[in-house]
Every structure is written in C-alpha cells, then in structure tokens.
C-alpha cells in the first residue's frame, strides 16, 4: 500500500517548488524591473495622456458631460494592486467639463466647470495603457489612501524645482 510513497513526496515537492518560484514573481516586481517600468511610463507619457483625453472626451452615457480640456500635473504616484500585483500610475489632473446645468444661448460658448481628479494608467501585458478613467475629487496620494485595501503605494515622483 505504501510502496509508492516517494512518488507522492516527489509530486508534492515539485508542486511546492513551482509555487515558490512562480508566486513571488506574480506579487512582487524586482527593483530593477520596477525602475524599467517607471522609465517606460515616462517615455510613453505623452501618448498615454493623449489617449486618456481622447477616451474621456467621449462620455459613456448620452447625458454625461463632455471633457473639453485636461491639464496634467508633473507628479506621479505608483501603486501596486495588493491582490493581483498589477502596477498603476496615478497622475493629478484638472479636467474642464462642459456644464450641462446651464443652457447658454446658441451664440455663446457652453459654460465650463474645472474639476480636480486623478488620471489612472495601468501596466498590463507588458505595456502602459489607460481606459480614460478618472477618480474625481482625489489627488493621487489621497486615491491610494482611500483605496488602501486594494492599493499600496510603491513610489512617488515629484519633479525637482530649480
């Protein structure tokens, strides 16, 4: 009955070894890889900002206000999803939104409303992307603090002023 016990032990050791090797890589980026990913974000930032604005300027609902303009701050906060390990870059923005409550005459421009928000960028499948999602009324650091059950801050970059 117990003549093949070594097979069970070997299979268990193999499974444990694979889990040990695979699990940390899914949860933790090595420091060198993290630095590379952060550099990639800065290289692609202009393209990402344009894509963010393009996606945000087309509202998902017909009665939702349109984004007219967006100013990006220089600061970037990087966070990691605690469950999946996915990296996120959060950037403070000021979004100019068409004010739907005021109905101007046809000869005037529509009224606008400027709102503070945080733009969300995700590192997925080896590259940075955005779905045009903004977290309104939060700075990047406040957003990470608010979603602390899901996100942990792994870095913040503030440009030096000369």
DSSP count for the chain of H helices, then E strands: 3, 6
85: alpha, beta or left? (left if phi > 0; alpha if psi -120 to 50): left
d(CA 45, CA 41): 6
- Domain tally, the chain: 1
pLDDT category, 48, cuts 50, 70, 90? very high
Is 52 part of any domain? yes
Q: Is residue 68 part of a domain?
A: yes
The answer to whether residue 13 sits within a structural domain is no
In a domain, 10, yes or no: no
DSSP string, 63-84: TSPPEEEEEEEEEEEEEEETTT
Q: 55-85 pLDDT, tens per residue?
A: 988 877 777 778 889 999 999 999 999 999 8
Structural domain of 145? 29-157
Separation between Cα atoms, residue 16 and residue 10, nearest integer Å: 10
Contact 99, 112 (CB under 8 A): yes
pTM: 0.74
Asked, for residue 99, whether it belongs to a domain, the answer is: yes
């Amino acid at each position: 009955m117990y003549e093949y016990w070594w097979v069970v032990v070997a299979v268990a050791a193999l499974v444990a070894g694979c889990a040990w090797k695979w699990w940390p890589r899914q949860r933790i980026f090595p420091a060198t890889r993290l630095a590379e990913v952060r550099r990639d974000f800065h290289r692609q930032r202009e393209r990402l900002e344009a894509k963010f604005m393009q996606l945000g300027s087309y509202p998902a609902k017909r009665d939702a206000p349109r984004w007219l303009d967006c100013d990006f701050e220089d600061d970037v906060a990087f966070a990691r999803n605690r469950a999946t390990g996915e990296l996120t870059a959060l950037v403070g923005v000021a979004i100019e939104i068409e004010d739907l409550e005021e109905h101007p005459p046809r000869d005037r421009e529509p009224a606008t409303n400027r709102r503070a928000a945080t733009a969300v960028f995700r590192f997925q499948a080896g590259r940075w992307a955005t779905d045009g999602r903004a977290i309104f009324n939060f700075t990047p650091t406040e957003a990470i603090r608010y979603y602390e059950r899901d996100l942990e801050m792994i870095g913040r970059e503030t440009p030096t002023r000369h």
